[in-house]
Amino acid sequence: MADYKDMFNKLAGKVKDAADSSGVAGVYARGAGRAKAFGQLTKLSLDTNRDLEELKRVYAEIGRLYYEQAKDSPEGFFAPLFEQAARLTEGIREREREIEALKAQALDTAQGAADEGGDFDAVVSRDEREAREE
C-alpha cells in the first residue's frame, strides 16, 4: 500500500512547480497590486469627498456669518441674494407657526375627545364628515 503522505507531498511539489513555471505567481502579484491600488484609490476618493463636504460646510458658515453681519445693508450682487434669504426665512417661520398651531389644535381635539369620553379616531371621523358637508 502506498504512503499517502509521500504521494501528497509529491503532488503538492508538482502543483507548486507548475504554478511557478506557468506564471500564476506573477498573475497573483499583479492582481494583488491592482487590488491594493484600487483600495488606495477608494480611500483617496472617500477622503476627498469628506473634505469637499467639510468645505461646503465652511463656505456655508462663512456665508451665514457674512449674512448676519451685513443683512441690514447688503451691497452689490449680494442684495438680491439677501432678499431671497429673507423670503425663504419668513416662509420657513410661517410654516413653523402653522405646524405649531396644527399640533396645538390636534392636541386640543384629542383632549376634548378624551373629556367627552370618545376616542380620538371617532372625533377625527366626525370632523372629517363635518368638513365634507361644509
pLDDT digits (tens, 9 = 90+) for 76-122: 999 999 999 999 999 999 999 999 999 988 888 766 655 565 667 77
The full length of the chain comes to 134
Half-sphere exposure of 92 (CA within 13 A, CB side): 6
DSSP 73: S
pTM of the model: 0.48
Residue with cell 469628506: 50
DSSP strands (E only) in 1-53: none
Residue with cell 504521494: 7
Distance CA(86)–CA(94), nearest Å, equals 12
Q: For all residues of the chain together, what is the average pLDDT?
A: 83
Residue with cell 506564471: 23
